[in-house]
A and B are shown apart, each in its own frame.
Chain A
Amino acid sequence: MHRRGVGAGAIAKKKLAEAKYKERGTVLAEDQLAQMSKQLDMFKTHLEEFASKHKQEIRKNPEFRVQFQDMCATIGVDPLASGKGFWSEMLGVGDFYYELGVQIIEVCLALKHRNGGLITLEELHQQVLKGRGKFAQDVSQDDLIRAIKKLKALGTGFGIIPVGGTYLIQSVPAELNMDHTVVLQLAEKSGYVTVSDIKASLNWETERARQVLEHLLKEGLAWLDLQAPGEAHYWLPALFTDLYSQEITAEEAREALP
């Protein structure tokens, strides 16, 4: 008696069916690619229309930029991924952020010897605005953050550390773990921190506090003040508000441009 599905004949038949299925699969993918190509063209037209009406809005209105970015993120699109993307080409968002990236890098390099590669978002904002000149488009702090997030791809050690309602921007590949970050946050109020401050606020043992502070010293992010009243103060130049108003010297600018 013939049993179905068994024997060389059945196997050969199955193989043929699989092959045909795969072939159909090929055709399906081809179809879908063709469909995608068509839809892409249509989308491009819609984007062109949108750009003709609202390109200025994006350029001028930072809140609109934020909305735009958030919406893109929600649906899984990164308008800043490539300068060759539609978004960049038609809305001009790319150039805006990539140029900002260059300016951020230059400011961080110029000031690195002062603050060890750590700078508050406020100071970075001030210095970038100064560098952009009178006729350039104004930028918001949100714009800076987005540009910095993109810069991470360059493997430079750019990091964004939240402290007391604002952010510290790290621009050198220094290793900063949770302990270091927490101490930076503690220092934010007064610009310095002591071993006692750390023990009181964070409940750490002396040794742990000392290690963290030593690491910050080694990385050039903190300065040691042995003449302070009481115990040694560890100052963070990144948090000196007086420095905001200081110009970048010609020498520092030379240091920034390779």
Chain B
Amino acid sequence: MDRFVWTSGLLEINETLVIQQRGVRIYDGEEKIKFDAGTLLLSTHRLIWRDQKNHECCMAVPLAQVVFIEEQAAGIGKSAKIVVHLHPAPANKEPGPFQSSRNSYIKLSFKEHGQIEFYRRLSEEMTQRRWETMPAPQSFQASRGPQPGRIRAVGIVGIERKLEEKRKETDKNISEAFEDLSKLMVKAKDMVELSKSIANKIKDKQGDITEDETIRFKSYLLSMGIANPVTRETCGSGTQYHMQLAKQLAGILQAPLEERGGIMSLTEVYCLVNRARGMELLSPEDLVNACKMLEALKLPLRLRVFDSGVMVIELQSHKEEEMVASALETVSEKGSLTSEEFAKLVGMSVLLAKERLLLAEKMGHLCRDDSVEGLRFYPNLFMTQS
């Protein structure tokens, strides 16, 4: 911890910010010290840490001082960490938080996550070593002693060996995983080929294939995640699963729809349903495919797609066209309204409010005034006052 120097935190000319992360704690070796909540910044030249509560408290260590870095995975109650091993501080080092330290390494604990990206970027910077080619104040560079990184303290050799072993083992695990993955993919590819050949047969027969066979085939495709070679959809509507799902949705969504005036966007439905499930979540495509079947199954909800591409679920009893009449009243009362204003008045989401106003416009009841100040709707006097 004695390698850090106080700094203003401002970047020098030629020094660029690479990534930053909040919620980082610093350890001196294994010891917790008082710097427990800060923003960690990585530049092309330095690692900078600034206290979240007291911005004046800001320190940095040049990247040139780093010997190597390693990751420490998160555990129960423990955040993921990066361990940074450092060269000894040079004699002419400027003042910092600690005059001396027993440890030749520090740990950075990512209490608000972000360790993965930060480690990736830090590794990149350590490989590219841009501080060597981009001139910056001498203090950033002057830290390596006689030779760049050639002279190592004894303790570091032991650490390096341990790291090398760990790397080999990790590599072995990773390569075994990749090998197994490749073998698996070969088998998956066989399934894809088989499904293509069956699809061709089905196409050739042009309607001679039974309903049952089609359903079976689609469910096989669904399990494998293979796009239906005939329709190009990834297992479009028609599988048992989606039919069951549609019925479930009709049950789950009845009350929420009634609470929201009979209409909800598909995004809202996706969030609502998945939050309620907790696990075994629906994919967006599962939801869409199930909703496509609602009308065919004569369920009390239906899927509707507006011209803009926005997709909603409506209660069958909900007549958007009738809602337009009341929208017209509301707009007339106020003279004119934007989507945001209308949404607030009526208690709808802005997205759906806009769709209703657009529909009213399409039906000829409203006119638009499109300017840089936004889109505003007026009652269509051309229609009513001619």
Which residue numbers of A lie inside 8 Å of B, CB to CB?
22, 25-26, 28-30, 32-33, 35-37, 39-40, 42-44, 46-47, 50, 53-54, 57, 60-62, 64, 67-68, 71-72, 74-88, 94-95, 98-99, 101-102, 105-106, 125-126, 129-130, 132, 134, 136, 138-141, 150-157, 172-173, 214, 217-218, 220, 224, 244-245, 257-258
Contact = CB atoms under 8 A, between A and B. Distances in A.
A106 to B, nearest CB: 7
5 contacts: A35-B194, A57-B174, A84-B222, A86-B223, A102-B274
B284 A105 contact: no
B372 A72 contact: no
Which residue among B181, B209, B279 has the maximum number of chain A CB atoms within 10 Å of its CB? Answer: B181
Contacts of B79: 134
A85 B225 contact: yes
B182 A76 contact: no
Contact of B185 (A64, A72, A140, A152): A72
A140 B181 CA distance: 21
A83 B187 CA distance: 21
Given A29-B202, A32-B201, A78-B225, 17 more contacts: A22-B205, A33-B220, A35-B194, A36-B220, A37-B216, A44-B223, A46-B184, A64-B177, A81-B285, A95-B280, A98-B274, A150-B283, A151-B267, A154-B284, A154-B311, A155-B310, A214-B372
B114 A129 contact: yes
B377 to A, nearest CB: 14
In the A-B complex, list the 8 residue pairs whose CB atoms are closest, starting with the nearest: A155-B311, A98-B281, A81-B234, A153-B284, A129-B113, A75-B189, A258-B268, A85-B225
Given A82-B235, A105-B271, A150-B284, A22 B208 contact: yes
B325 interface: no
B284 A258 contact: no
Contacts, number: 235
Interface stretch (B25-33, B137-145, B258-266): B258-266
B250 interface: no
B287 A130 contact: no
Contact of A26 (B116, B205, B371): B205
Contacts of A54: 177, 180-181
B224 interface: yes
Contacts of A26: 205, 208-209
Contacts of A152: 284
A81 B220 contact: no
A88 B283 contact: yes
Give the interface SS of chain A, mostly helix, strand, loop or mixed: helix
Interface in B185-219: 185, 187-192, 194-195, 197-198, 201-202, 204-205, 208-209, 213, 216-217
B226 interface: yes
B370 interface: yes
B275 A82 contact: no
A155 B266 contact: yes
B51 interface: no
Contact of B114 (A50, A80, A138): A138
B274 A99 contact: yes
B191 A39 contact: yes
Interface in B238-292: 241, 260, 264-268, 270-272, 274-275, 279-288
Contacts of B220: 33, 36-37, 40
Contacts of B285: 81-82, 150, 153
B98 interface: no
B213 A30 contact: yes
A84 B223 contact: yes
